[in-house]
Amino acid sequence: MAFSLDRVVPWGRSYDEYVRMFDLGPDELGGRILGCGDGPAAFQAEHHRRGGRGVAIDPLYAFSAAEIEQRIAATHRQVMAQVRANRADFVWITIPSPEELERQRLAAMAPFLADYETGRQQGRYVAGEAQALPFAADHFDLALSSHFLLLYAEAVPLAEQRQAIAELLRVAPEVRIFPLLELGGAPSRHLEPLMEELRAQGCGLELRRVAYELQRGGHTLLRIVRPVLTNEAIEALAADVLALRLPRERWTHQAHLAVGLWHLRRHGESQALELLRTRIRAHNVSAGIVNDVDHGYHETLTCFWLRLLAVHEAAHPQATLAGSLALLLRSPLASADAPLRHYKPERLFSRQARAGWLEPDRAPLPR
């Protein structure tokens, strides 16, 4: 069905609301961001003005600024009348009143309108649909859906929500959706089925409470992280390490973390450490890696990573093994230089640190 403007009520949130709804910090804002279903929100305009990179996509962008502006003018009173009639469904704290909401929404749409025609020419506003994105795989670092997926539970049925999320995960390694409610304020009927399917695919899932609530109960975002390895692949990797048949080139940082998580889940932190001491040494020998005072098994690094994995696991108690790995690899905790945030190099790379546990000298271990 063609997207017709007279069926749309353009309504857009501010940059600041996006930052709070999606819990965006410097790491996220520094990457390429896809705003899916951004409508007349100010996010793209302000993000671009601040030097950020990214694109907004919406079927609305088939229309001109003048057409969208006319439609905003023709519909905003009707939206505000609905808000006033359902005043109790909103939390008037961050935005104290319907009058302030109206002022903020109109103020948020102004920078969008001012930026729109130039942004369209620059390819920053793309007319299109979430279910068939006109972008190459991995074109973005993060995809956001504000007040579109999950919320439009009736207009966008489960199969289309699923298709849209698959598309978003194709073009970005992580998708964030806010809110998790339907228009009437009930939890979205699609949330549980989608989470179950995504979990089974090995996605990392996180429900994160954020510092934003306008629709009552709308204070949580869903993070979906693209799978890295399935549960079965992690099991197979651990089995290869135990059977001393994992080739050296497959013993990557990612493989270390996956095998560490597998041990932690199965045996708990202290027994996992005992086992890893023996098994990493034995694996090294089988893969032609020498274990001596300067090479191979490193006690401080092994203890360090295991502690970090335990901290990560405690933060994601509901995650599957594959989901936990996916979330871990998206986290700054897991970057290969994490140990150097806690240790000075001369201490970390000393013979003493390799032979036995040394406490950090730069920053305490994460708890």
Ligand X SMILES: C[S@@+](CC[C@H](N)C(=O)[O-])C[C@H]1O[C@@H](n2cnc3c(N)ncnc32)[C@H](O)[C@@H]1O
Q: List residues near ligand X by CB under 6 A.
A: 8, 11-13, 36-39, 41, 58-60, 129-131, 146-148
Instruction: State the Cα–Cα distance between residues 182 and 151, nearest whole angstrom.
Output: 4
Name the strand (E) or helix (H) holding 145.
strand 142-146
Pick 44 or 320: Cβ nearer ligand X: 44
Query: Sheet holding 220-225: strands in order across?
Result: 125-126, 53-57, 32-36, 142-146, 174-178, 220-225, 204-209
Instruction: State the Cα–Cα distance between residues 367 and 365, nearest whole angstrom.
Output: 6
Closest contact distance (angstroms) between CB of 57 and ligand X is 6
Pick 129 or 235: Cβ nearer ligand X: 129
Q: Specify the residue for token string 């040394």.
A: 358
Pick 102 or 129: Cβ nearer ligand X: 129
Closest contact distance (angstroms) between CB of 226 and ligand X is 20
Instruction: State the Cα–Cα distance between residues 60 and 47, nearest whole angstrom.
Output: 19
DSSP characters over 275-313: HHHHHHHHHHHHTT---SSSSS--HHHHHHHHHHHHHHH
Helices (H), 1-42: 15-21, 26-29
Q: Is 252 helix (H, G, I), strand (E, B) or coil?
A: coil
User: How does DSSP classify residue 365?
Assistant: P
Pick 212 or 262: Cβ nearer ligand X: 212
122 by Cβ neighbours in 10 Å (0-12 / 13-18 / 19+) ranks as exposed
Pick 157 or 193: Cβ nearer ligand X: 157
Closest contact distance (angstroms) between CB of 132 and ligand X is 9
Instruction: State the Cα–Cα distance between residues 297 and 289, nearest whole angstrom.
Output: 9
68 by Cβ neighbours in 10 Å (0-12 / 13-18 / 19+) ranks as buried
Pick 13 or 354: Cβ nearer ligand X: 13
Name the strand (E) or helix (H) holding 54.
strand 53-57
Closest contact distance (angstroms) between CB of 316 and ligand X is 27
User: How does DSSP classify residue 146?
Assistant: E
Closest contact distance (angstroms) between CB of 195 and ligand X is 21
* Residue 73: partners with Cβ closer than 8 Å, 6 or more residues away: none
Closest contact distance (angstroms) between CB of 248 and ligand X is 46
Closest contact distance (angstroms) between CB of 148 and ligand X is 4
Q: Which two tokens stand for residue 270?
A: 């202290």
Pick 146 or 188: Cβ nearer ligand X: 146
Pick 130 or 329: Cβ nearer ligand X: 130
Instruction: State the Cα–Cα distance between residues 183 and 185, nearest whole angstrom.
Output: 5
Closest contact distance (angstroms) between CB of 75 and ligand X is 12
Pick 91 or 233: Cβ nearer ligand X: 91
Closest contact distance (angstroms) between CB of 162 and ligand X is 13
Give residue number: closest CB to ligand X: 39
